[in-house]
Structure 1
């Protein structure tokens, strides 16, 4: 009946966590398959995606990807051998090596993202307002989440 406000249903944290886990599982599966189409492991794909934001020191990459720095070295070695990344000295600290994408690495990330058909279809089903709301909610919920833990 018009004019009578509807009560917002209560969704508890456990329900939200289950939905988030299901959603992230679908995203991760789509991402892993897209990475494989580019002959990348999921870890390599994630590394390239992080580097799409800009150069990063090895230590920062390891922290961002929640992996041991020794694993990061091998991962970067393999990506460098394929011509997807390169190392260069940090302009502010010559002891630090920054890792950055090559043009081929940028192409690989773009191709990976473009072939994430399940995720793209799900997000494209949202209208502009829904997309903006989802963006705002995810930003509010997870921005700085690592800093709070």
Structure 2
């Protein structure tokens, strides 16, 4: 029978975890600021960014947003009221509703992505090789 792992992480691991937490906090703050510049909440901006990738079933949006489908319905309602998103029948199954970004929604999603200072400033200080290495290491962490 395996015993629980109760050893404390080494200092290097602790430092890395704290730095990742700081990166996440800065990203969220920057994202909230970019969203508010478009009079959007963070959740609305996140959902709009997902819709910019293509029409998506409402249930799948709820999974990606890690929230209840009823929350996604409310967010899509507010985006629809601003003509940033629309509901459509899924061509593969007309019983399923998908949400899709409108042309204006795609423009706002692009502005949000381009408006993130975090992506421009700290990452711009890294060489292309360093950014590639960072990307590959983060992918390895997430796939593990």
What range describes the TM-score normalised by the shorter chain of this pair?
Answer: 0.7 to 0.9
Counterparts of 1:59 and 1:120, CA distance in 2: 33
Q: Deviations over 1:112-133 (max 9, x none)?
A: 1222223311111111101111
Unpaired runs of 5+ in structure 1? 1-9
Contact 1:47–1:61 (8 Å) recurs in 2: yes
Correspondence for 2:31: 31
Q: Deviations over 1:24-53 (max 9, x none)?
A: 000000000000001110000000111122
* SS of structure 1 residue aligned to 2:17: helix
* SS of structure 1 residue aligned to 2:130: helix
Q: Deviations over 1:79-137 (max 9, x none)?
A: 01111111111112121111111110111011112222233111111111011111111
Counterparts of 2:141 and 2:55, CA distance in 1: 26
* SS of structure 1 residue aligned to 2:99: strand
Please give the root-mean-square deviation of Cα atoms over the aligned residues, in Å: 1.5
* SS of structure 1 residue aligned to 2:98: strand
Q: CA deviation at 1:15?
A: 2.7
How many pairs are equivalent?
134
Unpaired runs of 5+ in structure 2? 1-10
- Indicate whether 1:116 and 2:98 are aligned: no
Correspondence for 2:63: 63
Question: Runs of at least 4 residues of structure 1 off by over 3 A?
Answer: none
